[in-house]
Chain A
Amino acid sequence: MSVVVPLSEDQRDALQEITNIAMGQAASSLANLLDTFVNLSVPRINVVGVEKLPSAISQLVGRETDVTAVRQSFQGYLRGEAIVIYGNDGCKELGDLMGYDEELDRSAELELLLDVSNVLVGACLGGMIEQLKGVGENNSGELSFSAPSMMAENVPADAVINASKLTWTHALLMEVNFSLESHDFISHLIMLMPEQAIDKMRGILDEFIASF
């Protein structure tokens, strides 16, 4: 087990604010897509050893019922994984919200989850990297994303990630969630970055903070 070094208070504060601004853009995209008001959460940020990831994710999601998760990896100046976790009851509501008349079959529902994930991940990570563009050495502000893919279906939240399959030692764990007013729908966007990206991120944040 390696030693996990947390972010400094200033680094965490800055990353939280940057995430908050990016999340505002993601929420706006989701609000447009679903034509309803989206509530924003206070971003939660932590550095954890990978062996603790499943329980940390379960705690962030905070629900007893099973979930469905979509993943997208990103790389470029920073790299990591973005995971969007949906409660199964909320999935059912998406079809209604999107204005589909008949009940969606499972495959149409899953396709909808992939689309929504793509919107959230693109807006949120795009918004973060946009703010940090030019901060740090050779930071072009560019990220490329893999296509969204189904990661886990109908599993408990602590089974979304299989920690034994990760080659990382620890991860920067960031969570924001989007809930809809007068609907059960909630989705958690979780961003994970491995140790090399964390070191890079610390440098970027220090420089960003120093610029104010």
Chain B
Amino acid sequence: MPTPILVVDDSAMARKMLIRALPPTWDVEITQAGNGVEAIEAYRAGKADVMFLDLTMPVMDGYQVLECLQNEDLNSFVIVVSADIQPVAQERVLKLGAIAFVKKPVTAEVMETVLKQYGVAL
């Protein structure tokens, strides 16, 4: 069965770039969200076994999504994908429950390394 994954970014191009960087052998069913509110909705609908989450977004940003997920039964791997390369940003999202931080622009090599590290079957 394909793994439901959710790609959250306000930029359509960023979502496209990320999806292209996913391992081609990974059997996934992709859902996209343009902001945090849409992301939470998709998460609750069971579409996010793995979530790729941008931080800087209108309406509801990535930090708020992570905070919100803490009040849910967290059964989703969240990988933050952001242009914010401050070490503090990284520390914060990991503290909020993200399993990894990938900096933009994302590459296929980094993506594969991160996914393998967390035992995602490719």
Count of chain B residues with a beta carbon within 8 Å of a chain A beta carbon? 22
Residues of chain B within 8 A of A41, CB atoms compared:
56
Contact, CB under 8 Å: A14 / B83:
no
Tell whether B70 is near chain A: CB-to-CB under 8 Å: no
Interchain CA distance A21-B85 in the complex, whole Å: 9
- Expressed in whole angstroms, the Cα–Cα distance for A16 and B88 within the complex equals 23
Please name the residue on chain A nearest to B88 by beta carbon: A37
Inter-subunit contact B88/A10 (CB<8 Å): no
Question: Is residue B82 within 8 Å, beta carbon to beta carbon, of the partner chain?
Answer: yes
Q: 1/0 contact trace for B7-20 toward A, CB 8 Å?
A: 00011111011001
A28 at the interface (CB under 8 A from B): yes
Which residues 137-173 of A sit at the B interface, judged by CB distance below 8 A? none
Question: Using Cβ atoms and an 8 Å threshold, which residues of chain B touch A42?
Answer: 10, 56-58
Q: Which residues of A contact B89 (CB under 8 A)?
A: 37
Main SS at interface, chain A: helix
Which chain A residues (6-26) contact chain B, with CB distance < 8 Å? 10, 13-14, 16-17, 20-25
* Residue interface mask A27-62, B partner, CB < 8 A = 1: 110010000011011100000000000000000000
Contact in complex: B20, A27 (CB < 8 Å) = no
The answer to whether B105 touches A212, judged by C-beta atoms less than 8 angstroms apart, is no
Decide yes or no whether A65 CB sits under 8 A from chain B: no
Task: Tell me which residues across on chain B come within 8 A of A38, comparing CB atoms.
Answer: 86
Bound-state CA distance A171–B20 (Å) is 33
B41: chain A residues within 8 A (beta carbon): none
C-alpha gap A38/B82 in the complex (Å): 14
Asked whether any CB of chain A lies closer than 8 Å to the CB of B27, the reply is no
Instruction: Indicate if the CB atoms of B88 and A13 lie closer than 8 Å.
Output: no
Taking the complex as formed, is A131 at the interface, i.e. its CB lies under 8 A from any CB of chain B? Answer: yes
Asked if B56 contacts A17 (CB within 8 A), the reply is no
Query: What is the distance, in angstroms, from A167's C-beta to the closest C-beta of chain B?
Result: 33
Q: Which of B14, B83, B105 contacts A40 (CB 8 A)?
A: B83
- B-chain residues with CB within 8 Å of residue A4 when the two chains form the complex: none
Nearest to B82 among chain A residues (CB) is A24
Q: Does A209 contact B (CB under 8 A)?
A: yes
For B17, the chain A residues whose CB sits under 8 A away are: 212
Contact of A21 among B12, B57, B105 (CB under 8 A): B105
Enumerate chain B residues within 8 angstroms of A25, measured Cβ to Cβ: 83, 85
Contacts of B11 in A (CB 8 A): 13-14, 16-17, 20
**Which B residues are within 8 Å of any A CB, using their own CB?**
10-14, 16-17, 20, 55-58, 82-86, 88-89, 103-105
